[in-house]
Amino acid sequence: MRCAVIMPHGWLGGMVNFAILLCNTLVELSIRDELVEVSLCVPLGYNLDAIIGLNKAVNVIAFEHVPWNPTEFRFSTFVGSIEPNLEDCGGMTYPKAVNGAMDIVIADVWILLTGIFGHGPIMPLKPYLVYAPDFIQRVVPEIYSSNPVDSHWLMNGWQSITMQNSRGVLVTSVQTGRDAVSYAGVPSSKVHLLPMANAPLFSVDSGDLDRSRAKTEKLKRFFSGKISTSSIPYKVTESGMDQSPSSPLLQLLESKRPYFLWVTNTTRHKNQERAVEALERYYEEFDGRLACIMCGPTTELYLQPCGLPWVDKIHHKIKKSPALIENLILAGTLSTERYKSLLSDAAFLWHNVLYDNGTFSVIEAARLGTRSLVSVYPQMMEIVDHFRINAETFDPWDVEGAAIALKGMEKKLIEQGAAATCNFDDDDAVVFKSKLSMLLEHSLTEVA
């Protein structure tokens, strides 16, 4: 059996880890007494360096979206439950392999890692499943559209058609499943909840945990004034990621000043505007003493104007704020090892997001013994509860409350310690594998 796992443009961080976990699980399956041959299909030009830990049995092929040609596929039978309406949806597309690779169309089943590809709805030439990572636009519509009140917004229509034509929609949180039904119009019988199986980004050894255990005592000494730190102006540079000894990040680390890590990116649901306002209040109104390191994919765009209005707004906000210039470090996109090191030594992780499918960065932090301060929304709370993480919470819409929560972490770190707790359910991976097997089997069954 042949299965094509099809990635969209722009997938980053934890989403790539999910794709790798999915492919690595699929190659272990046998469907109808036949091993599954898996191809990970990535957009043409995708940075393959981001794909780490993929099973060598998985083929990686590049593809591009091609408009559906009725002549080319005149003998094809649509496998979806809805006859495509080309006039209403602006034309349908299908993924076509490039550079002479084996054509994706000959696969028995497709697994689409989003319902939104930005080129039009997917033509149901093959049975397919859709993974729904989230429906962020339900709460933050401007992430995809400059006109969020437009009821005929094409991408929403494309998403609904693609999902409704599928054999099933896969979700990893209860709330995202509810969104699939009430927002995207997918029948509840088609929505399948997968367990939150986690593909580790890095390994953890005893040395990592020893470093984490030492944080509580260091923080107590810092807040009591027993540790003096150099007074360094932590300037926001405009020359990109400077790795020289004089770079702001390395100066901060040399100063031994404690910091917390803000993991984010430049998409608008990450709540950057409220977050920087909360940071300003933390430093100016509440005498915040911890430095803040912002890092994550594409965050180097904040270093200088880039032409994206919502990004440039944050850049100018930071440059005009003495408190942020002194206390905020823009570290940009980090290597896995640098990220692991900074996360291990951080006083805590800060996750300030309005809505998505939750972040596994809090799991990565907890595995290293680092606590988290996370914004409250349903999917994030599902992760915290499922993995039993001792995270503190705040309302991401409340700037004053977020600043108070940051200051409150200083007290909690002293009173409760810096160490985090996290528990993994070994059954998650087993159930994940079992459900995928069932769904592939179901996908091959003819629809009445």
Q: What are phi and psi of 38, to 5 degrees?
A: -110, 135
Residue stretches of the chain with pLDDT short of 70: 12, 69-90, 100-102, 144-155, 199-200, 209, 212, 226-246, 426, 446-448
Q: Angle of helix 378-386 relative to helix 174-182, nearest 10 degrees?
A: 150
191-193: strand order across its sheet: 93-97, 59-67, 37-43, 2-6, 109-112, 128-131, 168-171, 191-193
* Every domain of the chain and the residues it spans: 2-198+427-443, 206-416
**392 membership: H or E segment, kind and range:** strand 392-394
HSE-up of residue 155 (Cα within 13 Å, Cβ side)? 18
Instruction: Say what the pLDDT of residue 83 is.
Output: 52
Is-contact 25 436, C-beta < 8 A? yes
Instruction: Say what the pLDDT of residue 240 is.
Output: 38
> How far is 414 from 418, CA to CA, in rounded Å?
8
Q: Which residues contact 6 (CB under 8 A, 6 or more apart)?
A: 41, 63, 95, 104, 110, 111, 112, 113
> Is 2-198+427-443 in CATH node 3.40.50.2000?
yes
**Residue that the structure tokens 């083929």 belong to:** 59
HSE-up of residue 2 (Cα within 13 Å, Cβ side)? 12
Domains 2-198+427-443 and 206-416 share a fold: yes
Tell me the CA end-to-end span of the chain in Å, nearest whole number.
22
Instruction: Say what the pLDDT of residue 377 is.
Output: 95
pTM reported for the whole predicted model: 0.86
Instruction: Say what the pLDDT of residue 77 is.
Output: 52
Alpha helices for 27-122 (secondary structure H):
86-89
Q: Which residues contact 411 (CB under 8 A, 6 or more apart)?
A: none
Instruction: Say what the pLDDT of residue 47 is.
Output: 82
β-strand partners of 66: 94
Instruction: Say what the pLDDT of residue 165 is.
Output: 87
Instruction: Say what the pLDDT of residue 57 is.
Output: 94
> Is 206-416 in CATH node 3.40.50.2000?
yes
Q: How many CB atoms lie within 10 A of CB 291?
A: 22
CA–centroid distance for 281 within its chain? 27
Amino acid at 414: I
Instruction: Say what the pLDDT of residue 233 is.
Output: 42
Q: How many CB atoms lie within 10 A of CB 341?
A: 16
